[in-house]
Structure 1
């Protein structure tokens, strides 16, 4: 066959392929052993690149307890006001109440204020709790109560009941947060305190979701956890509504929320258990 005829055959084949191909489409022929080109701008991974190993599970660690030293050697005020105060000290390696002042209403004269002063040391009995907080029971027969030790404050509870001290003609309610007084608040720290409160609130939400996911197959535990969390905001409002300068600083809500975060974090590390509610309703 002549060179002219061979060229004519090739030209005719090329023209046929061009006419047969769809408009806008470009046909490509794959040769044996060929590798498809990578998209422009991409980096091809080496064939022998090691596959990432799955991350090892990390066991949750219980949050650190507030230091007892933060509540020693200082006056803690009920609701931040001078109407009730407590001082704690360490003697012989044990904690005790050095002084206690309770303010209430007279039993025989409605509307009159009464004050109970206790200057003799009161023993404290430590109790373990599932919340992770260190709890103490105060050996005061006339008005038994307990408290959870927080950071620079204590959360007092007496099962929501006020004490009637008939010999002193006085009815006093120790429930609530005892901590910083009016003179301890620095206006320059107000914004920082509110920001910290918001951050702890987010920690509570995150820990609640993580704990819920962990126990969601157990309907009874899941129901109890949801009940606790739903009641937390209302209980915090009851505890903190009377605390001095709360709208400006949010100090009481910060301390109560820290306690909730510690309880949830502890249960993430040790397993869910029903927690006892502390800081009962205020009876005004």
Structure 2
């Protein structure tokens, strides 16, 4: 589950200028004109410390703490289905805690960590605002000694019992505001790369796929229709990914430009 907008991150606070800028963006105008862009600041690990984060708001859970300069998982519970009895729930309280979280390079401007020492279920996550987005290459973990299969992929964030009905309107309003920023930043990114067909094609394809990807990730999150919490967090992450591309340029997947060129050649040949 790769967050759309994957590029190599630029250091926080630095300004880069791929291409020839025509106008410098003023404060509050990100995406409204071409020009140098300050890399958006990624959410800090401090936003997840001391909290119980739950997958989809009511599933597997994790607690993260600092130990000096290191980050650790001090509690981890995986919830899934029994290997021998399909459809029957199982729960595994992971032993051998704490587990060290190893920093990894993020492709979307976010802080990324991996729990590599958990042999039965190693996974990677990006730090969002008070939540984490876990990826596991689409594979469920099989913990045979516990007769359990668990898939950690998805958003681990606010537990279902912590949602405050009084804040539902505020949260939905925040999402609408962030959606507006996404549209603005996408338009700026498109305009900047309008003459580079492979990059333009990739940017459009990526943006088009974001909504369906977000829907897939968030459809199981507790009380999502009332609060839109999961969608808000992923949309905030999308803003950071677009900001990274505006600041540092778009990094195409290996072979993408060649594929676009081949498709264009084939299309021209078909018209003859």
TM range (shorter): 0.7 to 0.9
Q: Deviations over 1:221-258 (max 9, x none)?
A: 11111111111101101110010010000000000000
Corresponding residue for 2:102? 125
CA separation of 1:126/1:274 partners in 2, compared to 1, >3 Å: closer, same or farther? farther
Q: Deviations over 1:73-106 (max 9, x none)?
A: 110011001x311000111211011110001111
Rounded Cα–Cα distance in structure 2 between residues aligned with 1:122 and 1:197:
34
Where do 5+ consecutive residues of structure 2 fail to align?
1-21, 26-35, 254-272
Which of 48, 57, 63 is the aligned partner of 2:24? 57
Where do 5+ consecutive residues of structure 1 fail to align?
1-54, 276-284
Corresponding residue for 2:53? 76
RMSD value, Cα: 1.4
Rounded Cα–Cα distance in structure 2 between residues aligned with 1:88 and 1:163:
21
Rounded Cα–Cα distance in structure 2 between residues aligned with 1:211 and 1:158:
29
Rounded Cα–Cα distance in structure 1 between residues aligned with 2:204 and 2:106:
20
Give the number of the structure whose alpha-carbon radius of gyration is greater.
1
Corresponding residue for 1:137? 114
Which of 87, 90, 96 is the aligned partner of 2:72? 96
Q: CA deviation at 1:130?
A: 3.0
Corresponding residue for 2:148? 170
The count of residues paired between Structure 1 and Structure 2 equals 220
Corresponding residue for 2:168? 190
The yes-or-no answer on 1:204 pairing with 2:171 is: no
Q: Give 3-state SS (helix, strand or coil) of 2:225's partner.
A: helix
Q: Give 3-state SS (helix, strand or coil) of 2:156's partner.
A: strand
Q: CA deviation at 1:218?
A: 1.5
Rounded Cα–Cα distance in structure 2 between residues aligned with 1:86 and 1:161:
19
Rounded Cα–Cα distance in structure 1 between residues aligned with 2:51 and 2:24:
43
Q: Deviations over 1:92-136 (max 9, x none)?
A: 211011110001111111221111111411111111223110111
The yes-or-no answer on 1:223 pairing with 2:190 is: no
What TM-score, normalized by structure 1, do the two folds share? 0.75
